[in-house]
Chains A and B, each alone.
Chain A
Amino acid sequence: MEKVKVGIIGTGNVGTDLLIKVLRSSVLTCGIFTGVDRESEGIRLAESMGVATSCESIRAIESSPDLCDIVFDATSAAFHLQHAPVLERMRKYTIDLTPSHVGRMCIPAINMAECLEESNVNLISCGGQAAVPIAYAIMKTHPETEYIEVVSSMSSRSAGPGTRANIDEFTHINKEAIMAFTSVPKAKSIFILNPAEPPVDMNNTIYAKIDKADIDNLTNNIMAMAKKIKSYVPGYYVALGPVFENGRVTTMIKVIGSGDFLPKYAGNLDVISCAAVKVAEEYARRKIRKE
């Protein structure tokens, strides 16, 4: 079967995890894996698997546009601001995994169809991919919800330099994403890194302020949403709740990674790279059908 070529910019944790998932896909293949660090573990791994690599970052794609139709940007928000206009000009379908806030915010379980019409979509953050759909399900059940808060915690080992350099943007864009997708009047996002050994699993707690909660309905809608996400993020599950106490509904989500690049504790890596690959695959299928 014909495959669509992707380019991956950024050879850190996220980029390398994406690469492994792309190589497993039935509709995607990797045309170029490009970053800036020739010595990175990701580049070495890619070379060992026979993937074309470069340390010229986006320039590798600019000089050879035929290398790919889809581009994943797994660098940082500041770099994506530079990359976005270049990729737009080259008409590459761009899936941005940085918190740059350039393209339309995308959560496959919520707005996949609209996102395929865009030229640049933004994957928000790992916490956003994990928690915003639950916030969305809560808001669908209780549109009167006054406030939603998300606390995402993950192991220090799973947060690479790009994530750390953008902690402020991640915290901010998560809040923006909760509000944009759910229309809740007020929201907050909290990020916690925990250096414990062995590393902790990725965890997301979603609090919602609701006066009178219809817990049966909430449970049904949250479980349905979780099932939808699990179809593209295998390790995604509801670990607790929803439980209602004192005007507050608490739901806890855990994401166990597939252990592709980093071990299974790094579910935060999986939840965003699985979402990105899901979007790319949908785009590729459509492209193959059209051709």
Chain B
Amino acid sequence: MDKLLFFDSTLRDGSHAVAHKISANTIREYCRVAYNSGLYTIIVGHGNGLGASSLQVGISDEPDQDMITTARSELKESKLGAFLLPGFGTITDDLGPALDNGVDLVCIGCHCTEADITRQHIQYVRKREKEAYGVLMMYHMATPQRLLEEALKMQDYGAHGVILMDSAGSSLPDMVSERVKKLADNLDIHVGFHAHNNLGLAIANSYTAIKSGATIIDGTIRGFGAGAGNCQLEVLAGLLSKLEIETSLDLYKLMDMSEGIVSKLTSQGISSISLTSGLAGVFSGFAPHVKKAAIRFGVDPRDIFMELGRRKMVAGQEDFIVDVALELANKKARDQDLSF
């Protein structure tokens, strides 16, 4: 399998979930914690992209270019991404300045039947020697053949990849596999998938996309995003690790971004504790007891869960939580002693 690229739209799609009020401080802290997470790009900005702060869609708290410069000053490893819808942002007012301010990669989106309006912007990004990706939004509204025709136009304009966006979160796995496969079989560039969770299928659909030939997954930490939210990246990372599919992602790092930052902005998504419980294969009802034990003994609750899983504990064995926590605490103390 080709190497998977993970596009993180948390600070862009998440903007929809909080009426476009993501602060510069949040962006700064998020980009700092994301260091070495293995995310290919972190996309920042208004939910509808550059130049979209408006009465029609919603006014951003922070100007686009301030969000970009803030993220730029913190991002060391992941590329800095932006999003633009032709008809909202323009080259002169928005895209040009964004590239001047250090954006490395731009996703140019349009309704899935209108790819020819992305030509100017994709070509402009390429002329500035940055990465450009086409995004076909509301992809469930077009046939596989039509999507292919539109994607081929984007490839022709110079896009490095085309991302199918399930903007309404209305697709079932069969639709995902049929459409992703159609593109993957016929394009020479990356094919990506951007899921929404309205039918509770964001993870399943993203996984299906990978199995069908997608090499880009666009999602968000905590699933933070419009409507029911997005493909929750740390959950997908957990799923892929369980499947022993190798990725660039650092699962604990993504969980830290989720718990440390994004959980403060939204009630969306699966908590890192629930995710770890699922990965470890431990009874879900253990969670509150594990959290208490972790605090009492000063250990990481995720480590407790993983150890409980390794010991194959079954429902009703909550007494072993303390046992495991104590053992981890003792081990931690020994490791600290040894390090002196």
B90 x A149 contact (CB < 8 A): no
A192 x B54 contact (CB < 8 A): no
Q: Which of A149, A151, A161 is the most central at the interface, judged by chain B CB atoms within 10 Å of its CB? A: A151
A171 x B56 contact (CB < 8 A): no
A193 x B56 contact (CB < 8 A): no
Q: Which residue of B lies closest to A149 (CB)?
A: B55
Contact residues in B for A168 (Cβ distance below 8 Å): 86, 90-91, 120-121
Q: In the bound complex, what is the Cα–Cα distance between A193 and B88 (angstroms)?
A: 12
Q: In the bound complex, what is the Cα–Cα distance between A117 and B56 (angstroms)?
A: 38
Q: In the bound complex, what is the Cα–Cα distance between A164 and B91 (angstroms)?
A: 15
Write the nearest CB–CB distance from B278 to chain A, whole angstroms: 40
A209 x B90 contact (CB < 8 A): no
Binary contact readout A163-193 vs B (1 if CB under 8 angstroms, 0 otherwise): 0111110011001000000000000101111
Q: Which residue of B lies closest to A250 (CB)?
A: B55
Contact residues in B for A165 (Cβ distance below 8 Å): 116, 119-120
Q: Which residue of A lies closest to B118 (CB)?
A: A167
- B111 CB within 8 Å of chain A: yes
- B339 CB within 8 Å of chain A: no
B116 x A161 contact (CB < 8 A): yes
- A194 CB within 8 Å of chain B: yes
Q: Which of A161, A165, A209 is the most central at the interface, judged by chain B CB atoms within 10 Å of its CB? A: A165
Write the nearest CB–CB distance from B118 to chain A, whole angstroms: 9
Write the nearest CB–CB distance from A204 to chain B, whole angstroms: 12
Of A166, A191, A195, A207, the residue contacting B55 (CB under 8 A) is A207
B93 x A167 contact (CB < 8 A): no
Q: In the bound complex, what is the Cα–Cα distance between A188 and B111 (angstroms)?
A: 20
Contact residues in A for B52 (Cβ distance below 8 Å): 190
A167-B117, A168-B121 known; A193 vs B111 contact (CB < 8 Å):
yes
Q: In the bound complex, what is the Cα–Cα distance between A172 and B95 (angstroms)?
A: 12
**How many residues from B make CB contacts under 8 Å with A?**
23
Q: In the bound complex, what is the Cα–Cα distance between A175 and B94 (angstroms)?
A: 13
- A219 CB within 8 Å of chain B: no
Interface size on A, as a range, is 20 to 34
Binary contact readout A254-281 vs B (1 if CB under 8 angstroms, 0 otherwise): 0000000000000000000000000000
Q: Which residue of B lies closest to A147 (CB)?
A: B55
Q: In the bound complex, what is the Cα–Cα distance between A205 and B54 (angstroms)?
A: 12
Q: In the bound complex, what is the Cα–Cα distance between A32 and B110 (angstroms)?
A: 37
- A248 CB within 8 Å of chain B: yes
Of B88, B114, B119, the residue contacting A156 (CB under 8 A) is B114
Contact residues in B for A151 (Cβ distance below 8 Å): 54, 56
B54 x A194 contact (CB < 8 A): no
- B87 CB within 8 Å of chain A: yes
- B92 CB within 8 Å of chain A: yes
Contact residues in B for A209 (Cβ distance below 8 Å): 55
A149 x B87 contact (CB < 8 A): no
Contact residues in A for B91 (Cβ distance below 8 Å): 168, 172
A171-B87, A190-B87, A207-B56 known; A164 vs B117 contact (CB < 8 Å):
yes
Contact residues in A for B113 (Cβ distance below 8 Å): 156, 195
Of B55, B92, B117, the residue contacting A248 (CB under 8 A) is B55
Q: In the bound complex, what is the Cα–Cα distance between A232 and B17 (angstroms)?
A: 45
Q: In the bound complex, what is the Cα–Cα distance between A251 and B302 (angstroms)?
A: 55
Q: In the bound complex, what is the Cα–Cα distance between A209 and B110 (angstroms)?
A: 28
Of A149, A188, A193, A207, the residue contacting B117 (CB under 8 A) is A193
Q: In the bound complex, what is the Cα–Cα distance between A171 and B54 (angstroms)?
A: 14
A149 x B54 contact (CB < 8 A): yes
Q: Which residue of B lies closest to A170 (CB)?
A: B87
Q: In the bound complex, what is the Cα–Cα distance between A156 and B142 (angstroms)?
A: 14
Write the nearest CB–CB distance from B57 to chain A, whole angstroms: 8
Binary contact readout B183-208 vs A (1 if CB under 8 angstroms, 0 otherwise): 00000000000000000000000000
Contact residues in B for A191 (Cβ distance below 8 Å): 86-88
Q: In the bound complex, what is the Cα–Cα distance between A156 and B92 (angstroms)?
A: 25
A195 x B114 contact (CB < 8 A): yes
A193-B111, A194-B111, A195-B111 known; A167 vs B56 contact (CB < 8 Å):
no
Of A149, A175, A195, the residue contacting B56 (CB under 8 A) is A149
Write the nearest CB–CB distance from A203 to chain B, whole angstroms: 12
Contact residues in A for B117 (Cβ distance below 8 Å): 164, 167, 193
A149-B54, A161-B116 known; A167 vs B111 contact (CB < 8 Å):
no
Write the nearest CB–CB distance from B86 to chain A, whole angstroms: 5
Binary contact readout B97-122 vs A (1 if CB under 8 angstroms, 0 otherwise): 00000000000001101101101110
Q: Which residue of A lies closest to B112 (CB)?
A: A195
Which residues of A47-106 have CB atoms within 8 Å of chain B's CB atoms? Answer: none
A165-B116, A195-B113 known; A190 vs B54 contact (CB < 8 Å):
yes
Of B55, B92, B120, the residue contacting A167 (CB under 8 A) is B120
Write the nearest CB–CB distance from B87 to chain A, whole angstroms: 4
A172 x B93 contact (CB < 8 A): yes
B88 x A172 contact (CB < 8 A): no
B55 x A192 contact (CB < 8 A): no
Q: In the bound complex, what is the Cα–Cα distance between A261 and B73 (angstroms)?
A: 54
Q: In the bound complex, what is the Cα–Cα distance between A209 and B120 (angstroms)?
A: 31
Q: In the bound complex, what is the Cα–Cα distance between A9 and B18 (angstroms)?
A: 49
Contact residues in B for A188 (Cβ distance below 8 Å): 51, 54
Binary contact readout A105-139 vs B (1 if CB under 8 angstroms, 0 otherwise): 00000000000000000000000000000000000
Given A168-B121, A172-B90, 9 other A-B contacts at CB below 8 A? A147-B55, A149-B55, A171-B87, A171-B90, A172-B93, A175-B90, A190-B52, A190-B54, A195-B141
15 intermolecular pairs with C-beta atoms under 8 Å apart:
A156-B113, A161-B116, A164-B117, A164-B119, A165-B116, A167-B86, A167-B117, A172-B92, A188-B54, A190-B52, A190-B88, A193-B114, A195-B114, A195-B141, A207-B55
